[in-house]
């Protein structure tokens, strides 16, 4: 297998890791004002992702760095043509991180909670818009430069893709909260997950069906079907109260969706509306020497990162219990200072 193919697959794996792990972070942030009834609920919801959210974002950094090193032409065209959407995603991620870290240091948390909500909702939607456009194809000239505008990216197919990822990640967050909490909060998350699963089947199914009918390949029909089966499995498991299986099934659906998109993309990395101007793994890649060095670095350090992150999730695997307010101890009746009846 050629190294260009290897690195295309590795970048797909990095995006799979990012969407599976950061996906429930987005969902938790979106559901923060929906499922929380009071400040204790809000603290419990945020505590579910507190130890892991920043580690999950590392997958995005590595995916971007790998794209820059392995396919510099792809990186240059992507970040110049999609500059505004990617800039909005970056700002949203920064503000979300600030909100998580600083809400407990402020007298008023309402503003930070709104920042958390929009900082999660915007990337969850825009990543779908971006990847839908990448798979569909964008206007590129002979120098592989993007010639469209922002409104070119906001076409109906891309907006449907954004809505599909938004619903899917929100469902992922609801299932994660059902898995990591208990009591009324867990019940509310599971109840909402049932409704979101139905929405994900409708919206996500429409997006994948349209993708397969327009740019799909025969092999990716299997992964598209697996995605639908994963969401249906999450719905069935939630109704049965099997939170772990429900979360696993939806994670499998996210993996299958990402495989479908990258499978339809191959061997292109940035299709053009004019196929002659498309970027492929061949004309967008770095030199063989660079890819060889990168491969050895990945072989050495990737297992270390995976072991460390797996250990982190193992340590913080237990459900979070909403703290029960302590009863206020009864105060003894103070002695009376009035004079005794009948005193001389």
For residue 336, being part of any structural domain is answered with no
Q: How many CB atoms lie within 10 A of CB 328?
A: 6
Q: What is the pTM of this model?
A: 0.88
What CA–CA distance (Å, rounded) separates 261 from 208?
9
**Which residues constitute the domain of residue 66?**
3-315
What is the pLDDT, as a whole number, of residue 52?
84
> b/e for 45-82, b at 16 or more Cβ within 10 A?
bbebbeebbeebbbbbebbbebbebbbebbbbbbeebb
What is the pLDDT, as a whole number, of residue 324?
54
For residue 321, being part of any structural domain is answered with no
Which CATH number fits the domain that encloses residue 280? 1.20.1630.10
H/E/C letters for each residue in 96-112? Answer: HHHHHHHHHHCCCCHHH
For residue 339, being part of any structural domain is answered with no
What CA–CA distance (Å, rounded) separates 301 from 305?
6
Structure tokens at 321: 């219990």
Helix 3-35 to helix 110-136 angle (10° resolution) is 150
For residue 328, being part of any structural domain is answered with no
**pLDDT in 10s for each residue of the chain, 344 residues:** 688 999 999 999 999 999 999 999 999 999 999 998 888 888 889 989 988 888 888 899 899 999 999 999 999 998 888 888 899 999 999 999 898 888 877 777 788 889 999 999 999 999 999 999 999 989 998 888 888 888 889 999 999 999 999 999 999 999 999 999 988 999 999 999 999 999 999 999 999 999 999 988 999 999 999 999 999 999 999 999 999 999 999 999 999 999 999 999 999 999 998 888 889 998 888 888 988 998 998 888 888 888 888 888 888 777 777 665 544 444 444 444 444 433 32
For residue 333, being part of any structural domain is answered with no
Kindly give, in sequence order, each residue whose CB lies less than 8 Å from that of residue 13, ignoring residues fewer than 6 positions away: none
DSSP 8-state symbol, 321: P
For residue 331, being part of any structural domain is answered with no
Q: How many domains does the chain have?
A: 1
Q: Could you tell me the end-to-end alpha-carbon distance of the chain, in angstroms, rounded to an integer?
A: 110
Task: Show the DSSP H helices in 36-109 as ranges.
Answer: 39-49, 53-70, 72-81, 83-102
What is the pLDDT, as a whole number, of residue 326?
47
For residue 170, being part of any structural domain is answered with yes
What CA–CA distance (Å, rounded) separates 133 from 138?
7
What is the pLDDT, as a whole number, of residue 323?
62
For residue 340, being part of any structural domain is answered with no
């Amino acid at each position: 297998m050629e190294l260009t193919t290897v690195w295309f697959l590795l970048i797909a794996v990095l995006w799979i890791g990012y969407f599976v792990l950061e996906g429930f972070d987005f969902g938790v942030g979106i559901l923060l004002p929906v499922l929380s009834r009071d400040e204790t609920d809000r603290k419990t919801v945020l505590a579910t992702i507190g130890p892991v959210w920043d580690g999950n974002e590392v997958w995005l950094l590595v995916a971007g760095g790998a794209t820059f090193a392995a396919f510099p032409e792809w990186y240059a065209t992507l970040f110049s043509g999609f500059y505004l959407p990617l800039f909005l995603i970056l700002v949203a991620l920064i503000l979300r991180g600030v909100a998580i870290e600083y809400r407990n240091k402020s007298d008023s948390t309402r503003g930070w909670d709104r920042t958390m909500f929009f900082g999660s909702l915007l990337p969850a939607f825009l990543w779908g818009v971006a990847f839908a456009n990448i798979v569909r194809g964008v206007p590129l000239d002979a120098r592989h430069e993007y010639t469209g505008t922002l409104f070119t990216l906001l076409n109906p197919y891309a907006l449907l893709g954004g809505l599909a990822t938004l619903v899917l990640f929100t469902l992922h967050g609801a299932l994660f909260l059902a898995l990591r909490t208990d009591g009324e909060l867990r019940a509310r998350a599971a109840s909402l997950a049932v409704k979101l699963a139905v929405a994900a089947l409708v919206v996500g199914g429409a997006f994948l069906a349209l993708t397969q009918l327009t740019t799909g390949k025969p092999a990716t029909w299997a992964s598209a079907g697996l995605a639908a089966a994963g969401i249906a499995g999450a719905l069935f498991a939630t109704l049965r109260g099997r939170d772990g299986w429900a979360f696993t099934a939806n994670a499998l659906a996210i993996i299958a969706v990402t495989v479908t998109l990258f499978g339809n993309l191959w061997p292109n990395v940035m299709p053009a509306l004019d196929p002659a101007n498309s970027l492929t793994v061949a004309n967008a890649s770095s030199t063989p020497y660079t890819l060889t060095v990168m491969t050895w670095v990945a072989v050495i350090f990737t297992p270390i990162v995976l072991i460390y992150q797996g250990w982190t999730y193992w340590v913080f695997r237990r459900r979070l219990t909403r703290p029960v307010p302590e009863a206020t101890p009864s105060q003894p009746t103070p002695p009376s200072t009035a004079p005794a009846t009948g005193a001389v």
